[in-house]
């Protein structure tokens, strides 16, 4: 049933999956609770996410809790050994590294034709394809979860237009996810991936960051920690002011690009970095996307204007722009922290995947009760994920005294 590259790779994948689980205490604890409650027993869960050891553990613990599980992933984000390990464990997998765009789509449709009850998504592409290509399935879904900013945004737009056909939990918006994965996970992983691909130090470089949300602020912090001089570009004056208070220079993107050795987009919005911005870069500057969506660097527009690739070394492509200046594009503008690196740190993803498990549990417990909309994970579920993670670090929280509770219960704001 699976569509994978090489089943013989399963031992290598299984070893790395087992290693990752050692550092995923929150996910493991939540999965244990799911198993004890029996809440997901027999529920068909489709996991559409970056296929590497951390994600594989989500699929495995759901299966261990009694769910039926299948997995798909875009080819560029697929680890073939991990795919083989899941297949060997009896989980259908529709993903292989060499897949192109057409095969990626076929794999998503194969996952949907498996008839899941719940979709666990990253980027919301699978949820959106379900709406366009398998509308009958959407009507039968218990619901879906989405764990990225760029994935939640189009789902909220679908809701606004009256096109959303199933309840969705915005796992991305849970505090235990966005306050840690976006800033500490993606921020660190993007900057280290850039340094690794370029084989050059970040220290002493001019780094421009487009966007100062939770991802962009994390990228800026990680770059500055490695000794870069950081300039931030923002369209939101409040976010721009936050960047100033964090100690960064703030300029319009065209100005920031003009002196950037490295330009990183962190907006999750297509065409953030236009041909005009590319033309403003110094000779030999590098451009990358952290998190993100297709064409966040407007490479199609650049190609239409006469930009050509003159050299390629691994994931580093040298482009000659119409002006004659050469720049370097990292990993073709893809989500560099997952498509050209090992993804975010395992301890960080433990929180994100714990949130996804809590979101699945909430959907199943609330079956038939949630309106067709994008929902926030209840605070109690969010806190439960954080408590499991905190315990693994040896920490604990304080308990309000009776006097504090009485004060809070009696306090009323002045009219």
Q: What pLDDT digit, counting tens, does each position of 14-69 carry?
A: 999 999 999 999 999 999 999 999 999 999 999 999 999 999 999 999 999 999 99
CA angle 19, 24, 25 (to 5 degrees): 125
- This prediction's pTM: 0.88
Tell me the mean pLDDT in the region 89-114: 97
Axis-axis angle for helices 237-245, 214-225 (nearest 10): 20
Return the HEC string of 152-188. HHHHHHHHHCCCCCCCEEEHHHCHHHHHHHHHHHHHH
The region of weakest confidence among 84-93, 296-305, 337-346 is 337-346
% of the chain surpassing 70 pLDDT:
99
Q: Are 20 and 346 in contact (CB under 8 A)?
A: yes
Rounded Cα distance between 270 and 299, Å, is: 10
Tell me the mean pLDDT in the region 208-229: 96
pLDDT band for position 118 (50/70/90)? very high
Q: Are 13 and 83 in contact (CB under 8 A)?
A: yes
Q: What is the pLDDT of residue 47?
A: 98
Going by C-beta distance under 8 Å and a sequence separation of 6 or more, which residues neighbour residue 236?
212
% of the chain surpassing 90 pLDDT:
90
Q: What is the pLDDT of residue 414?
A: 61
Q: What are phi and psi of 350, to 5 degrees?
A: -55, -40
Give the β-pairing of 316-320 and 326-330: antiparallel
Q: What is the mean pLDDT of the chain?
A: 95
257-312 pLDDT tens trace: 999 999 999 998 999 999 999 999 999 999 999 977 889 999 999 999 999 999 99
Q: Where are the beta strands (DSSP E) in 240-314?
A: 249-250, 262-265, 286-289, 308-313
225-264 pLDDT tens trace: 999 999 999 999 999 999 999 999 999 999 999 999 999 9
Q: What is the pLDDT of residue 415?
A: 53
Q: What is the pLDDT of residue 265?
A: 97
pLDDT band for position 342 (50/70/90)? confident
Full strand arrangement of the beta sheet holding 249-250: 249-250, 229-233, 206-210, 262-265, 286-289, 326-330, 316-320, 308-313
Q: What is the pLDDT of residue 194?
A: 96
Where do the structural domains in the chain lie, given as residue ranges? 7-173+345-392, 184-333
Rounded Cα distance between 14 and 27, Å, is: 18
Closest Cα to residue 73, out of 45, 42, 106, 43? 106
Q: Are 151 and 124 in contact (CB under 8 A)?
A: yes
Tell me the mean pLDDT in the region 368-397: 93
Rounded Cα distance between 40 and 34, Å, is: 7
Decide yes or no: CATH 3.90.230.10 for domain 184-333. Answer: no
Distance, CA of 276 to chain centre: 28
pLDDT band for position 6 (50/70/90)? very high
- Class of residue 249 by CB neighbours under 10 A (exposed 0-12, middle 13-18, buried 19+): middle
Residue 183 has pLDDT above 90, yes or no: no
How many residues in total does the chain contain? 415
Question: How many C-beta atoms surround the C-beta of residue 71 within 10 A?
Answer: 30
Q: What is the pLDDT of residue 149?
A: 87
Rounded Cα distance between 181 and 194, Å, is: 18
Rounded Cα distance between 123 and 127, Å, is: 9
Rounded Cα distance between 252 and 262, Å, is: 16
Tell me the mean pLDDT in the region 347-375: 96
The region of weakest confidence among 141-145, 200-204, 265-269, 334-338 is 334-338
Residue 374 has pLDDT above 90, yes or no: yes
Helix (H) or strand (E) holding 299: helix 299-304
Tell me the mean pLDDT in the region 129-148: 97
Q: What are phi and psi of 320, to 5 degrees?
A: -100, 120
Give the CATH fold of the 7-173+345-392 domain. Answer: Rossmann fold (3.40.50)
Going by C-beta distance under 8 Å and a sequence separation of 6 or more, which residues neighbour residue 391?
25
Rounded Cα distance between 4 and 109, Å, is: 15
pLDDT band for position 353 (50/70/90)? very high
Rounded alpha-carbon distances, angstroms, from residue 211 to 136, 216, 237, 292, 354: 38, 5, 11, 11, 27
């Amino acid at each position: 049933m699976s569509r994978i590259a090489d089943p013989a790779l399963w031992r290598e994948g299984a070893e790395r999956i087992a290693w990752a689980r050692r550092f995923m205490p929150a996910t493991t604890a939540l999965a244990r609770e799911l198993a004890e409650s029996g809440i997901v027993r027999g529920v068909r869960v489709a996991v559409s996410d970056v296929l590497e050891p951390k994600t594989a553990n989500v699929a495995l613990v759901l299966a261990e809790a009694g769910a039926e599980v299948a997995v798909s992933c875009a080819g560029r984000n697929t680890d073939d050994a991990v795919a083989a390990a899941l297949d060997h464990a009896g989980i259908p997998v529709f993903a292989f590294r060499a897949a192109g765009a057409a095969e990626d789509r076929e794999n998503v449709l194969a996952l949907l034709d498996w008839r899941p009850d719940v979709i666990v998504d990253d980027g919301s592409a699978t949820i959106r394809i379900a709406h366009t290509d398998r509308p009958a399935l959407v009507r039968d879904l218990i619901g879906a979860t989405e764990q990225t900013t760029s994935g939640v945004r189009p789902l909220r737009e679908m809701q606004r237009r009256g096109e959303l056909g199933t309840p969705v939990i915005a796992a991305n918006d849970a505090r235990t996810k966005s306050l840690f994965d976006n800033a500490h996970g993606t921020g660190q992983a993007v900057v280290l991936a850039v340094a690794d691909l370029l084989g050059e130090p970040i220290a002493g470089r001019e780094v421009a960051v487009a966007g100062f949300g939770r991802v962009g602020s994390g990228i800026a912090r990680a770059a500055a920690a490695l000794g870069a001089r950081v300039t931030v570009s923002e369209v939101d004056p409040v976010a721009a002011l936050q960047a100033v208070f964090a100690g960064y220079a703030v300029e319009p993107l065209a100005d920031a690009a003009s002196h950037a050795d490295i330009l990183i987009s962190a907006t999750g919005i297509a065409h953030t970095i236009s041909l005009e911005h590319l033309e403003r870069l110094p000779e030999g500057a590098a451009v990358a996307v952290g998190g993100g969506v297709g064409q966040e660097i407007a490479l199609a527009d650049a190609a239409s204007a006469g930009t050509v690739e003159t050299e390629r070394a691994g994931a580093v492509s040298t482009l000659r722009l119409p002006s004659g200046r050469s720049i370097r594009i990292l990993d073709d503008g893809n989500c560099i922290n997952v498509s050209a690196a090992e993804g975010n740190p395992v301890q960080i993803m433990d929180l994100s995947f714990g949130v996804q498990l809590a979101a699945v549990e909430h959907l199943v417990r609330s079956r038939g009760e949630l309106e067709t909309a994008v929902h926030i994970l209840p605070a109690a579920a969010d806190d439960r994920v954080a408590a499991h993670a905190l315990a693994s670090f040896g920490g604990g929280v304080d308990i309000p005294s009776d006097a504090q509770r009485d004060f809070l219960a009696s306090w009323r704001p002045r009219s």
